Amino acid sequence: MCASVPGPEHRASAVRRAREGDVAVHGEYKVPGGKLVVVDLDVQGDVLRDVRVAGDFFLEPDEAILSIDGALEGAPVSTDAAGLAARITAALPESTVMLGLTAEGVGIAVRRALAHATEWGDYDWQLIHGGPQAPALHMALDEVITAEVAAGRRPPTLRVWEWASPAVVIGSFQSLRNEVDPQGAARHGITVVRRISGGGAMFVEPMSTITYSLSVPEALVSGLSFADSYAYLDDWVLGALGDMGIKAWYQPLNDIATEAGKIAGAAQKRVVGPDGGPGAVLHHVTMSYDIDADKMLEVLRIGKEKMSDKGTRSARKRVDPLRRQTGLAREQVIENMIASFRDRHGLTVGEVTAEEMDRAEELVRTKFATEEWTARVP
């Protein structure tokens, strides 16, 4: 079972009591590539009071922590993360050195405290890693599982995909004719499907990529901007890659990169909860393991502007396989990633329920395998 998450009435009551000075709020945020920032504060009226910033970061001089606390004292509760960061920056001595800490990270931690955001450790995470599935069924499972998390009927879930056949997966808003060469797709037996999230097209062969989905309660990313939520939900996989000797980082908006180039791309979809209540976030990532770049170029219409981004001139350079960087079999990379997630956040093995599979198969018939959906943006 997933740990209980405060409902909207509870959160509204907590905010009301906080504004009356009866309840302190607590927020945490791990700076991407950095350290954990913890903020405790009170809300009195419409301003922040008794702000205390802590964490495992490094900060010089020691007195700078008092400057940070002081900069936040009295700030209006409506101040966004950027505004809070500006107050902090203006208050810090010029000699301040921050390692693993940023003013923006502190601002985000404050916003998460005010939003009563949950943390990774508040949940019992479940793993789904089954056998190969058809591309359209993967699209449907993402929608069904995330809806179940939004409804509170399923715990937050990490689903690792296995592909039954090669595919091109295009983003929700992409033009089919602009992204896919139909002759190339037919020649190589490639199925084209459209997902529910935005972003760009991805070329997949069963053993060439590593794809996973996170279906998480909206409360986990409360207080984060849409862009910040990408970095937050990608942080665990950066750690997993680091455990395998790969220095990787989040590259805005939705990429994971190394010194050798881009290795993964992410996409998200927000799902509204029952009766319009708090919902869930689908965050899925495809990582390049051993892409056949020549075949990809015959199937995808990759524009010159995209290919020249950051000076790259070939798809082979853009798609940097994990196989070369790790020297590990794809199955071992996946096993290491799962172990890394389990070590950080806990993870129990689960499965797609019979009811979830029935709903997913119905969605395949009525949506994801239909020409109407796939070509909804011709």
Within this chain, do residues 28 and 163 fall inside the same structural domain, yes or no? Answer: no
pLDDT, residue 319, reads 56
Q: Is the pLDDT of residue 82 over 60?
A: yes
For residue range 327-349, list pLDDT tens digits in order: 999 999 999 999 999 999 999 99
Pairing of strands 20-30, 248-251: unpaired
> Which residue, 114, 133, 153, sits at the end of a domain?
114
Q: Residue 68 is part of a domain; what is its CATH number?
A: 3.30.390.50
Task: Decide: 3 and 124 in contact? Cβ < 8 Å.
Answer: yes
Pick from 35-39, 52-56, 276-280: least confident: 276-280
Within this chain, do residues 110 and 187 fall inside the same structural domain, yes or no? Answer: no
Within this chain, do residues 340 and 356 fall inside the same structural domain, yes or no? Answer: yes
Q: How would residue 5 be classed by pLDDT, with cut points 50, 70 and 90?
A: very low
Residue 97 corresponds to which tokens in the numbers above?
């050195």
> Which residue, 59, 93, 114, sits at the end of a domain?
114
For residue range 262-282, list pLDDT tens digits in order: 899 999 999 998 888 889 999
pLDDT, residue 123, reads 96
Task: Decide: 35 and 29 in contact? Cβ < 8 Å.
Answer: no
Within this chain, do residues 110 and 194 fall inside the same structural domain, yes or no? Answer: no
In a domain, 1, yes or no: no
Residue 256 corresponds to which tokens in the numbers above?
């994971």
Q: Is the pLDDT of residue 316 over 90?
A: no
Q: Is the pLDDT of residue 18 over 50?
A: no
Distance CA 295, CA 299 (A): 6
Closest C-alpha to 297, from 188, 197, 191: 188
Within this chain, do residues 150 and 102 fall inside the same structural domain, yes or no? Answer: no
Distance from chain centroid for Cα 76:
29
Q: Is the pLDDT of residue 317 over 80?
A: no
Domain count of the fold of the chain: 2
Within this chain, do residues 235 and 358 fall inside the same structural domain, yes or no? Answer: yes
Pairing of strands 248-251, 47-55: unpaired
Distance CA 208, CA 303 (A): 22
3-class DSSP assignment, residue 25: strand
Within this chain, do residues 194 and 105 fall inside the same structural domain, yes or no? Answer: no
Q: What does pTM read for this prediction? A: 0.87
Q: Is the pLDDT of residue 227 over 70?
A: yes
Q: Is the pLDDT of residue 21 over 80?
A: no
Q: Is the pLDDT of residue 11 over 70?
A: no
Within this chain, do residues 161 and 60 fall inside the same structural domain, yes or no? Answer: no
pLDDT, residue 320, reads 52
In a domain, 2, yes or no: no
Q: How would residue 259 be classed by pLDDT, with cut points 50, 70 and 90?
A: confident
Distance CA 242, CA 246 (A): 5
Task: Decide: 124 and 346 in contact? Cβ < 8 Å.
Answer: yes
Closest C-alpha to 80, from 118, 108, 52, 38: 108
Within this chain, do residues 273 and 333 fall inside the same structural domain, yes or no? Answer: yes
In a domain, 3, yes or no: no
Distance CA 106, CA 157 (A): 28
In a domain, 65, yes or no: yes
Task: Decide: 158 and 130 in contact? Cβ < 8 Å.
Answer: no
Q: Is the pLDDT of residue 308 over 70?
A: no
Task: Decide: 253 and 230 in contact? Cβ < 8 Å.
Answer: yes
Alpha helices in 77-197 (DSSP H): 81-91, 103-114, 135-150, 176-179, 182-187
Within this chain, do residues 152 and 241 fall inside the same structural domain, yes or no? Answer: yes
Which has the higher per-residue pLDDT, 133 or 6?
133
Within this chain, do residues 291 and 312 fall inside the same structural domain, yes or no? Answer: yes
Distance CA 318, CA 336 (A): 24
Q: How distant, in Å, are the alpha carbons of 220, 280, 320, 339, 340 from that of 325? A: 32, 34, 8, 19, 18
In a domain, 243, yes or no: yes
pLDDT, residue 358, reads 98
Q: Residue 191 is part of a domain; what is its CATH number?
A: 3.30.930.10
Residue 51 belongs to what domain range?
Answer: 8-114
Q: Name the one residue in this structure whose structure tokens are 């053993």.
A: 207
